[in-house]
Amino acid sequence: MPRSWAGSPLRTGEWEGARSRRSFDAAFLGGIQMHHDASHWSARLTTTARSVWAKHDRDSEKWLQLWRHMADSAAMAERLWDEWAPRNVRALVAESLPGRDADARALVVWLAAIHDIGKATPAFACQVEQLASRMRDEGLDMPTAKQFGDSRARAPHGLAGQVILEEWLERQGWSPRGAMAFAVAVGGHHGVPPGHDAFPHLHQHTELLRTPGRSEHLWQSVQTELLDACAAAYGVRDRLDHWRAVKLPQPVQVVLSAVVILADWIASNSDLFLLFPEERPRSDADRVERAWRGIDLPSPWSPDAIPQSAAELFSSRFALPEPRPLQKEALRLAHAATSPGLMIIEAPMGEGKTEAALAVAEVFAARSGAGGCFLALPTRATANAMYGRLRPWLRRLPGDEERTVSLAHSKAFLNDDFARDLRAGARTIAAVDLDGASASVRSERADQRAAASELVAHQWLRGRKKGMLAPFVVGTIDQLLFAGLKSRHLALRHLALAGKVVVIDEVHAYDAYMNEYLERVLSWLGAYRVPVVMLSATLPADRRKALALAYSGADEGRRELAEEVSYPLISVVSAGNVTVTGSPAAAADRQTTIWVESLEDGVEALADRLETELAEGGCALVVRNTVDRVLRAAEVLRERFGADAVTVAHSRFVDLDRARKDDDLVARFGPSGDRPAGPHIVVASQVAEQSLDIDFDVLVTDLAPVDLVLQRMGRLHRHRRGDGQSQRPVRLRGARCLITGVDWAADTPTPVDGSAAVYGSHALMRSLAVLNPHLAGAPVILPDHISPLVQSAYAPNRPPVPEGWLEAMDTALAAHQDTLAGQRRRAQTFRIDEVRRPGRSLVGWIDAGVGDADDSRSGRAQVRDGEESFEVLVVQRRRDGTYATLPWLEGGFGGLELPTEAIPAPRSAWAAAASALRLPYHFCRPWLIDQVIDELERFCPAAWQVKESHTLAGELFLVLDEDCQTRLAGFDLRYTQTDGLEVLPAETKDVRLVKSDAGF
């Protein structure tokens, strides 16, 4: 850090105390470490400036002076910048400043030092009367808090600090716009940059900043004194003239704001920085060192020793004897790219996209200086599965340092792997004594890390605001989309992403509403120069093009992206250049030829056809687009084939049952599964489309968008079972897909209402159009036909169809366009703006925002379109009136007591939390939501709502009776192990409403 300020004269009047006026030329001579010890510069402050307070504990009456909190915050910003911030984040800030690295470091430390200058105002200081009285004794007159009344709310200290800093900079020749861009990190240090409408009131009511009259000049003098002192102490005094012409980019403003927030959070932790008076005096350097060791934040990932050959890399990281062609090509392109940018990998399942993405992430991180990796998945289930795959890769990375990990979704604590990592990282966050106590702490944590194979979930990096800051994170796509949502502490989420390589899986799985957020987030990631790897089975050319355009902000390569039809396909956008490469196609022995036929809709027709197909045995998968259709089909198939021959899988199982179902499916129908000897039918909803590595002899599927139909076809003959599939029944050795859910007898084939409600008629008609030649006899060959079919279905021009279909397709298209327009319009309500040109400040960045963004029911609804859904925890009320977990839950979690007068035991609470279930669409209608909530909230034990009951507090509970039935909002419900939650016809049974005990 440059010390060129030492010995340079200050301008006359810039640092004027209430009782004395000094030259500080010599005061700050003394060496490079001087700023570590606040006493070196605070001792020169006037007693008036030293009387200003910043922190107060009403219980202990301890307090902290403003100058000391400024020094603490600066010290933490310095440590964060030097030891925690990834290299690419530091470079982003440095490139915008004339002094590069030295300027970046000085700026972030200085902003952290002055972030609370707004506390040197009467509007803040009046809050604690005994401390305000001390300041009055020094001449800083102020009204009492009561005298101020409600007007104080218009001068929060962050906003006040920004105004004071802007005025200070403008007195030194800065333009108002330039001053605002630098000062917004002060104004937004509580998570929300000020809005434009916040400033006029404060400018009109300066009594909130400085008490009018005889002390007005003194207030301004103290504010100036503190700002001048920090400018000199932290090395920016002679840099201000150089920065005056800088047009600070918005991404840099975000990073600076976020680091200031973190420095303030750490410096405000009274377990790390004790309030005064302390039990024993300590030097400032000792105070800082103890706190930094106490928080023990992880260093950023710094990849090294990356093998040059693909064979060596994939062997050492993934224990693969030979990488697939796709993986080799992805790695080659990662090394060859002009600079790390956006890579889109399109390939069928089984080609090793995940391993390719992690290998590319390692190369991109090494080249860019990214300090971690974030993997975004569509659902909690897929995120959990990915977390399990991430851990072995982390263990195999070179180096013996601890790897800090996080699983970012609302039910992460239920994941066994993450729970182990949480326990390994559990410790008390407190200042570490430097006289020997720290050694015992390190020894204890060393034991924990050894047990956890060097993987921990850091204690401090937990919670919805900080979890994403861990170096390695797996989460749902919502966690990424929240970066495009106007919400509190958005800067922290951006900082978390700016320092990582971002991997986005299942890119094809998101609708137009979510894509609006995704594209906006990509545009910001591109501005941060964050390397991004996107994975998909296949993308329509327009989607591929839109994603690349969003990331690059330029039009280069659009033609190449739009015209390329090779498959598998890897597209790279790097420094304005576009590379589109077709990866070698799958070997012939990995191709699957599928014969496609239509099947009359109706469960009896389905049962008849399956009797024929399974006459010699075999396993069939039936995929329905709605759970109601799943359950109706299962009912009839059980009558025909027997209950043991039919398995049901859908989304209306509680989490523990759902996990058991998934495990059972993989155990029986996976690559090494113990397949049933006789005929067996799995009837499933869309849960069978992805994530499960399962394999069947014959497929019956409702018509769906063609990319999803192809996903479902990927479950046919997925694995070789003997030479020429000889282990399958003779009739089923050729893969066959039967498409139903359509009225084939109509002049224009018409999808059933349930499917149209889920996907829209337009997508279904387009799918039918491109599948029509295959229904007429031409087989579908996977993976060769994946890209042509998808590109044709989603092309701007309509695919060829019979003349009689045209009117229906035009009607469906018009409705589809209206839907898209509505989705985009709704998404824009709370979506952040595009990156503005350099020099535009973040003021107003999240105006009209949503408040906090979190992984809750309402939080997810902000970045996902559709009616609000409800997740409930399912418990049972016994005949004796006591409550318990569902009786059959495996692992010893069934039938555990849930006392309503006390916090349930941890094991019982965990089992209840793991019995989450999302209510079906019946209960999400706008006209029914209030009634549903009212009825669910009737069971709300007060003992469960305390902070200590964090797993159950605030949850909604669906209480079943002893027969596992109940009534909700006029619907009869039944839950079974085999079929999950069923919504019964109202006349089925007069099921009584389970009422809670009085007072709940």
Q: Which helix (H) or strand (E) holds 169?
A: helix 157-170
pLDDT of residue 251: 98
The winner for highest mean pLDDT among 131-145, 798-812, 842-856, 863-877 is 131-145
DSSP output for 348-413: -TTS-HHHHHHHHHHHHHHHHT---EEEEESSHHHHHHHHHHHHHHHHHSSS-S-EEEEEESTTGG
- CB contact at 8 A, 862 and 830: yes
At 247-303, the pLDDT tens digits run: 999 999 999 999 999 999 999 998 899 888 765 556 788 889 999 999 989 999 999
Spell out the domain ranges in the chain.
34-269, 310-582, 592-782+798-814, 867-984
455 confidence band (pLDDT: 50, 70, 90): confident
Greatest Cα pair distance, the chain, in angstroms, is 101
Q: CB pairs under 8 A, 24+ apart, for 934-938?
A: 935/968, 935/969, 935/993, 936/870, 936/872, 936/968, 938/995, 938/996, 938/1000
Mean pLDDT is highest, among 376-380, 621-625, 952-956, for 621-625
886 near 929, Cβ under 8 Å?
no
Closest by Cα among 797, 803, 737 to 771: 737
pLDDT at 993: 37
**Which segments of 453-510 are extended strands (E)?**
455-456, 472-476, 501-504
Task: State CA 187 to chain mean position distance.
Answer: 25
Q: Could you identify the residue written with the tokens 């964090």?
A: 950
Do residues 545 and 561 touch, judged by C-beta distance below 8 A? Answer: yes
Q: What is the mean pLDDT of residues 972-989?
A: 83
Write the pLDDT tens digit of every residue in 616-671.
999 999 999 999 999 999 999 999 999 999 999 999 999 999 989 999 999 999 98
In contact, 304 and 398? CB cutoff 8 Å: yes
Look at residue 444 and tell me whether its pLDDT is greater than 50: no
Same fold, 34-269 and 310-582: no
Residue found under tokens 């402050």: 45
Two tokens, residue 735: 């893969």
pLDDT at site 589:
61
Residue 678 has phi, psi (to 5 degrees) of -95, -175
Task: Of 355-369, 401-415, 524-538, give the lowest mean pLDDT range.
Answer: 401-415
Q: pLDDT at position 305, please?
A: 81
Which whole number is the average pLDDT over 942-969? 92
The string of pLDDT tens digits covering residues 735-745 is 999 999 999 99
Q: What mean pLDDT do residues 853-882 have?
A: 73
CATH architecture of the region 592-782+798-814: 3-Layer(aba) Sandwich (3.40)
Q: What is the pLDDT of residue 30?
A: 32
Q: Is the peptide bond before 281 cis (omega within 30 degrees of 0)?
A: no
Place of tokens 């399942």: 349
Give domain 310-582's CATH superfamily: P-loop containing nucleotide triphosphate hydrolases (3.40.50.300)
pLDDT value of position 856:
53
| Residue 510 confidence (pLDDT) | 79
CATH 1.10.3210.30 is right for the domain spanning 34-269: yes
Nearest to 339 by CA among 48, 551, 52: 551
pLDDT-based confidence at residue 450 (cuts at 50, 70, 90): very low
Nearest to 124 by CA among 230, 22, 53: 53
Angle between helices 416-425 and 380-396 (to 10 degrees): 50
SS3 state of residue 440: helix
Residue 414, class by beta-carbon neighbours within 10 Å (0-12 exposed, 13-18 middle, 19+ buried)?
buried
Is 991 in contact with 962 (CB distance < 8 Å)?
A: no
- The share of the chain scoring above pLDDT 90, in percent, equals 66
Could you tell me the pLDDT band of residue 567, with boundaries at 50, 70 and 90? confident
Whether residue 98 is predicted with pLDDT greater than 80 in this model: the reply is: yes
What would the mean pLDDT of 932-961 be, rounded to a whole number? 92
pTM given for the model: 0.88
**pLDDT tens per residue across span 464-486:** 778 899 999 999 999 999 999 99
Residues near 167 by beta carbon (within 8 Å), at least 6 away in sequence: none
CB 173 within 8 A of CB 209: no
- The per-residue pLDDT for 577 is 84
Cβ–Cβ contacts within 10 Å for residue 158, how many?
Answer: 25
Q: What is the mean pLDDT of residues 103-115?
A: 98
pLDDT tens-digit readout, 123-164: 999 999 999 999 999 999 999 999 998 888 889 999 999 999
Q: Would you tell me how many other CB atoms lie within 10 Å of the CB of residue 4?
A: 12
> Strands 577-582 and 569-574, how do they pair?
antiparallel
Q: What mean pLDDT value characterizes the chain?
A: 87
- What distances in angstroms separate CA 248 from CA 95, 99, 708, 787, one per listed residue? 10, 14, 45, 43
> CA 153, CA 160: separation in Å to the nearest integer?
11
State residue 711 phi and psi, 5-degree precision: -60, -45
Judge contact between 859 and 478, C-beta under 8 A: yes
Rounded (5°) CA angle 448-450-456? 60
Question: 679 pLDDT exceeds 70?
Answer: yes
DSSP code string of 249-298 = -HHHHHHHHHHHHHHHHHHT-TTTS--BS-SS---HHHHHHHHHHHH-PP
pLDDT for residue 8 is more than 50: no
Rounded distance between C-alpha atoms, residue 279 and residue 298, angstroms: 30
**pLDDT at res. 815:** 93
Task: Specify which residues 582 forms β-bridges with.
Answer: 569
What is the reported pLDDT for 997? Answer: 34
**What does the alpha-carbon distance between residue 215 and residue 221 come to, in Å, rounded to a whole number?**
10
* Least confident window among 13-17, 168-172, 215-219, 626-630: 13-17
751/739 Cα distance (integer angstroms): 11
Q: What average pLDDT does range 960-981 have in this prediction?
A: 96
CA gap 242, 227 in Å, rounded: 18
Burial tier of 802 (Cβ tally within 10 Å: 0-12, 13-18, 19+): exposed
Task: Calculate what percentage of the chain has a pLDDT beyond 70.
Answer: 88
Residue 512, pLDDT score: 79
Please give the helix or strand (H or E) that residue 701 lies within, else none.
strand 698-702
